Each structure stands twice: as structure tokens, then as C-alpha cells.
Copies of this chain bind each other. A is one copy, B any other.
Amino acid sequence: MIEERLAALKVSLPNPPKPAGSYIPVVKTGNLVFVSGQIPVKDGKVQFQGKVPTNISVEDAQSAAKLCIINALAQLKDELGTLDKISKIIKVSGFVNSTPEFTDQPKVINAASDFLFDIFGEKGKHSRIAVGVASLPLNSAVEIDLIAEVT
């Protein structure tokens, strides 16, 4: 069902990107799954690099945030078999590679939040932080991790 929704949104999930480090993408405990921090990788290459807003626009950073969510969903599908097991998105942590002056982190991470709502509806409504950080792995513009509840 969620996958039909993704198809309607013309979103195709990639083969989940490998973690850039010695850890695993998804860990389950009880009814919770913790997804490792995702960066805007596609076809093995970081698509959105640099600091917002000097190297990369808010609009492109929003695309980066969306790509992080696509990668998180790919990891979850790989782990769970189907995204229909997700009963709720609990928490999204959004880290934006920011200049010291940039203060529109919520605008960037809204793209991730809106996208989750588009896909999951009410189940996609989550708690959230959005902060600006000095730098990110592989010079990614955005890094996002999430916690979901599964049945």
C-alpha cells in the first residue's frame, strides 16, 4: 500500500546505500526501528554538497532532505521487507550543513516532513529537531536520521 503510494508519487526506492562506516543501517528494539543518519547519496555519489545557503540553495537543500528520506525508506524496506509494517514515524532528526548565519533550517527539513506526510498520511506525522551544524560527512548538505514504530 505504501509502495503504491510511492509509485503514485513517482518515487522509486534505490538499492539502499551502504553505510559510510562500520555500523548498520537499521536496528530494531521492541516495536522501534532506528535508522542510521542518511545523506543525500544517489548511485553512490553525494548529490547535494556544501553549506546552505552559500554553496547550495534552500531549494536544493530541500531536495537533499527528500533524498535522505528516500534512502531511509530504502533501508527500512530492505530491513522490514515491506514499508506497510511501519505504524508510525516517531522522530526525525535533521542536521543542515549551515553557515553560522543561516537560520532557515526548518524550511529545509520541512521538505522531509512534508514528504513523510505525503507518503504515510497521519502515520507520517512525527516529532522533530532541525539544527544547523558546522560540517557533515562527505560534505553532504543535509543528514537525517529517524525512528519509526513497527507492528
Contacts and interface: CB of A to CB of B under 8 A. Distances in A.
Interface size on A, as a range, is: 35 or more
A87 to B, nearest CB: 9
A110 interface: yes
* Copies per complex of this chain: 3
Contact of A27 (B91, B101, B110, B143): B91
A16 interface: no
B129 A132 contact: no
Given A21-B113, A22-B113, A110-B21, A129 B37 contact: yes
Which residue, of A32, A36, A129, A132, has the highest number of chain B Cβ atoms within 10 A? Answer: A129
B36 A106 contact: no
Contacts of A113: 21-23
A21 B109 contact: yes
A83 interface: no
A63 B107 CA distance: 26
A27 B88 contact: yes
A74 to B, nearest CB: 15
Given A22-B114, A51-B100, A127 B27 contact: yes
Contact of A135 (B101, B138, B143): B101
Nearest to A26: B127
Given A37-B129, A37-B130, 10 more contacts: A20-B106, A22-B110, A23-B92, A23-B127, A29-B90, A30-B31, A36-B127, A95-B131, A98-B135, A132-B133
